[in-house]
Amino acid sequence: MVVDDHRIFRDGLRMIFATAPDIDLVCEASDAETALIQAAGCQPDIILMDIQLPGINGIEATRRLVKQMPGIKIIILSMFEETGSLISAIRAGARGYILKDAGEDQVFRSIRGVYNGEVLFGPQMADKLLHLMSDIDMAAPVALFPGLTDRERELMILMVQGLSTEAIASQTGLTVKTVRNHVSNMLNKVGVPSRNDLIARAKAAGIK
């Protein structure tokens, strides 16, 4: 299944899938709401999910689909090499993340690999993931901020990376109000008076 709001992009994928005897395009959707309904009917093995969709974004749609259909395997499609989006996609349950300018061979490799149980992020995003894991001491936020939830730690990383409240909401699928509520809770738990103080404390803990 392909979920993308650009018809020309969907047309292009349909054409290349027609050349692959082991890949059938069973349904398409131009937005997340339609995808949530159609996926239950056409039961795809793999969903290629655009990250930027009208209404519900691809990250939140992935989270809902994985909960709704635990056996589904979703590969995120994106135009941007953003570490924050990659982290959010992984947390949402995506099994792959490839850029929209990926070649035909890489698209086929990702689909077949994820179908066979692999987790694939494409060469550019794999490099970013390795860099992220080498730069961030993931034990630090757990040890120094034991009261934070996994979601709050995710938001802390995005804040340290310089994302605004609105950008964090867009990438995580949360509302702006929900993000602000999380930040307020984090300030109370960490014991700092402001967002800037929270970011400074996180950086001091080794989060980059």
Give the count of alpha carbons within 13 A of 108, CB side only.
14
The domain of 71 spans 2-132
Distance, in Å, from the CA atom of 116 to the CA atom of 102, rounded to the nearest integer, reads: 20
Does one domain contain both 119 and 156? no
Q: Average pLDDT for consecutive 10-residue bins of the chain (208 residues)?
A: 95 94 95 94 95 87 92 90 77 89 90 92 70 53 68 90 91 90 89 88 78
Does one domain contain both 47 and 95? yes
pLDDT at 144: 60
Does one domain contain both 86 and 142? no
pLDDT at 119: 87
- What sign has the CA pseudo-torsion 104, 23, 119, 78? positive
Does one domain contain both 104 and 149? no
pLDDT at 42: 95
Which pTM does this prediction carry? 0.65
Alpha helix stretches (DSSP H) within the chain? 7-17, 32-42, 58-68, 83-92, 104-115, 122-135, 139-144, 150-160, 165-172, 176-190, 195-204
Neighbours of 34 (CB within 10 A): 15
Q: Which of 83, 111, 132 is the last residue of a domain?
A: 132
pLDDT at 139: 46
Neighbours of 178 (CB within 10 A): 15
Q: Which of 71, 102, 132 is the last residue of a domain?
A: 132
CATH number for position 110: 3.40.50.2300
pLDDT at 79: 83
Does one domain contain both 118 and 147? no
Which of 89, 107, 85 lies closest to 98 in space, CA to CA? 107
**pLDDT tens digits for range 34-79:** 999 999 999 999 999 998 888 888 988 999 999 999 889 999 998 8
Q: Which of 132, 159, 181 is the last residue of a domain?
A: 132
CATH number for position 148: 1.10.10.10
Contact 120, 109 (CB under 8 A): yes
* H or E, element range at 77: strand 73-78
